[in-house]
Amino acid sequence: MERLWRDWRMAYIESARDPDEGCIFCELPQKEPEEALVLRRTSEAFVLMNLYPYNPGHLMVAPLRHTGSLEDLHAEEMRQAGELLQTSVKVLQEVLSPDGFNVGMNLGRVAGAGYPGHLHWHVVPRWSGDANYMPILGEARVLPELVGATFEKLRGGFQVEL
């Protein structure tokens, strides 16, 4: 059997915690942007890179306010989150040139939400051929670039005023 070494996997395992014991979406916007991988913060929402991405450039957009209920978002929270979603797709298109995107959210634990108490949208760039045999047979994803390097590429595109 061939072994695939993924040096970040242990950090992911060790950082895992019960979402009821704290919320990364409440904590990360309070940190320095480089440390938290926050690309843009507005008065009501923010966009950050997923530290354990599905694909390079996997972003998440969330309201600053802690809520797990989409219908509880105020109009301004929805507006700003929507603008950050649009900006995310635009910047990813300009910088990484993907062939398409998956954009969506998981509402509730049974739907796959890792933090069901805090809404967040996923923006995942996709390329033709990015779904290969590795996740199926090797139970691993091959990411061609470190998250920090992708952060540096994307951050300039988020400096624009919304």
Q: Is residue 33 part of a domain?
A: no
Q: Is residue 120 part of a domain?
A: yes
Q: Is residue 24 part of a domain?
A: no
How far is 155 from 152, CA to CA, in rounded Å? 6
At 65, the pLDDT band (50, 70, 90 cuts) reads very high
Catalytically annotated residue among 58, 74, 120, 122: 120
Statement: the pTM of the whole predicted model exceeds 0.85: no
Is 60 exceeded by the pLDDT of residue 1? no
Q: Is residue 143 part of a domain?
A: yes
Q: How many domains does the chain have?
A: 1
Is 66 tagged catalytic? Answer: no
How far is 130 from 128, CA to CA, in rounded Å? 6
The closest alpha carbon to 104, from 58, 72, 144, belongs to: 58
Q: Is residue 118 part of a domain?
A: yes
CATH number at residue 61: 3.30.428.10
Residue 129 domain boundaries: 50-158
Is 70 exceeded by the pLDDT of residue 10? no
Q: Is residue 26 part of a domain?
A: no
At 58, the pLDDT band (50, 70, 90 cuts) reads very high
